[in-house]
Structure 1
Amino acid sequence: MISFVQPTRVLLDPLEGTRIAVEARRWLWPLLLLVACVSASGVAFALRWNAAPAVVRQLQSAGGLERMTESELSEEIQNASRKALVAGVAKGVLLMPLLTLVLAVGLWACAWLLDRPAPFARLWSAAALALLPIALYHLIFTLCALAQPSLSEAQVQDLVPSSLAVLRDLGPKVARAARAVDFFNLWSAGLLGLGFSAATGMSRGRALVLFALLYVALAGVVFVGLPGMAAAKAGGAA
């Protein structure tokens, strides 16, 4: 029971809870919670997703809709729903442990560059604990999705309004930047800094500043740079 309660204490008491959990190398329960919550959100989306508009749009762009019978179209929609279900479970079971590993390796690289050696088990624990806010987001998403009669792809991003993107009438560039200011992502970045501090002995203040800067750089690439390039490419192609 202590093994379960101690990591989840991180969400309520991040300063001491993170330090204690990292030193005790508590990573199993946080990772299991992450896998379970992300898988559950994927299943909830698949169960409530109205796949028909997306399937019809895809078939129209491929030019195959006119040759399909109603039963064939219905089968395509059912197959799309099944694929979404499998992809949702795979996201939790496969992608989340891989993401944890990538974060742990990133922490190890930071520790090596800053000459702050630390046992990899502690860095792995810090990475797993830092993803607890993401698990909480997916748990909330699961409950919200199951409460809906149906879901479209456009509704997914705003189903749990956790970023400044909820503000309306923003230009495309500002909207992409606003999406980076996300409560759960910032919470996770803060826990990553606290975990790094607990694992390496770096002061909490320096670690928090370091990971705040790293988050800004990463968010600039993921939320602003790459979508902007994709939009410019699409506009050029049009």
Structure 2
Amino acid sequence: MTSLVQPVRVFIDPVEGTQTAVEARRWVWPLIILAICVSVSGTLVSLRWDAAPDVIRELQSSGEMATISEADLTDKIQTTSRKALVGGIAKGVFVMPFLALLLAAALWVVTWLLDLKAPFERLMSVAALALLPIALYHVVFAVCAWAQFSLTSARAAQLVPSHLGALLTGLSPGMARVASAVDFFNLWSTALLGLGLSAATGIRRSRGLLLAGVLYVVFAGVMMVGLPGMQMASGGGR
């Protein structure tokens, strides 16, 4: 029971809760909680998702809409819905634990470069605990999605307006991507990451928070701003 309570304590007392969980090397239960929350979210969203608008839009953009039969269109919509269900479950069971492992490996590289000593199991605990706010996001998202009669991709993107881009209007595509990086749950995860790094390596909490902030800026700059911008530019060029 203690193994389960310690990760939950992170939400109530993030400073002491994170330090206690990292020192005790608690990473199994945080990963289980993350996997369950993301899997449930993916399942509920797929059950509410109306795949027809997205499938029709894709067929129109590829020029296949004019030649496809009604029966084939129905089959394609059903197949897309089934893939969404399987993908939602797989994201929780396989993708999120792998991302936690990848994050722990990245933290190991960073601590090695900065000449900070921390056992990998502690860094794995840091990674798993830092992803708990993402698990909470998926719980909120699942509840909001289940309350909808039906859900489209456009509606899903606006269902939980947790980032700055959802609150500001009239932004250019580039600034919208920058604003989307200022996300409540992501910043919460970053703060837990900093507290966890402090507990795992023994550095000051302020230094741990600063290091986590720098890592998030680099991640957001590459994955949330840079790469999407390059994909849009490439698509526009064609």
User: Secondary structure at 1:160's aligned position in 2?
Assistant: coil
- 1:1-238 alignment, distance < 5 Å: 1-166=1-166, 167-237=168-238
Amino acid at match of 2:84: A
TM-score (norm 2): 0.96
Offset of residue 168 of structure 1 = 1.6
Determine the C-alpha separation between the residues in 1 that align with 2:78 and 2:159: 23
State the percentage of identical aligned residues.
60
TM-score, length of structure 1 as denominator length: 0.96
Give the Cα–Cα distance (whole angstroms) in 1 for the partners of residues 79 and 138 of structure 2: 24
Moved more, 77-86 or 151-160: 151-160
Alpha-carbon shift at residue 111 of structure 1 (Å):
1.4
Q: Structure 1 CA distance, aligned partners of 2:107 and 2:66?
A: 53
Residue 64 of structure 1 deviates from its aligned partner by: 3.3
Q: Deviations over 1:23-57 (max 9, x none)?
A: 11111111011001111111112111111111122
- What stretches of structure 2 of length at least 5 have no aligned partner? none
Residues 124-167 of structure 1, C-alpha deviations (whole Å, 9 max, x = no match): 11110110000000010000000011111112222111110122
Cα deviation digits, residues 176-209 of structure 1 (max 9, x gap):
1100000000110111111111111111111101
Mean alpha-carbon deviation: is it higher for 156-165 or for 177-186?
A: 156-165
Aligned AA (2:206): G
Q: How many residues align?
A: 237
CA deviation vs aligned residue, 1:89-126 (integer Å, no higher than 9, x gap): 11111101100101111111111111111111111111
d(CA) in 2 for partners of 1:126 and 1:80? 36
Q: What is the aligned-residue RMSD (CA, Å)?
A: 1.2
State the one-letter code of the partner of 1:64: E
Classify the secondary structure of the residue corresponding to 1:116: coil
* In 2, Cα distance between equivalents of 1:82 and 1:141: 20
Aligned counterparts of 1:173 and 1:62: Cα–Cα separation in 2: 26
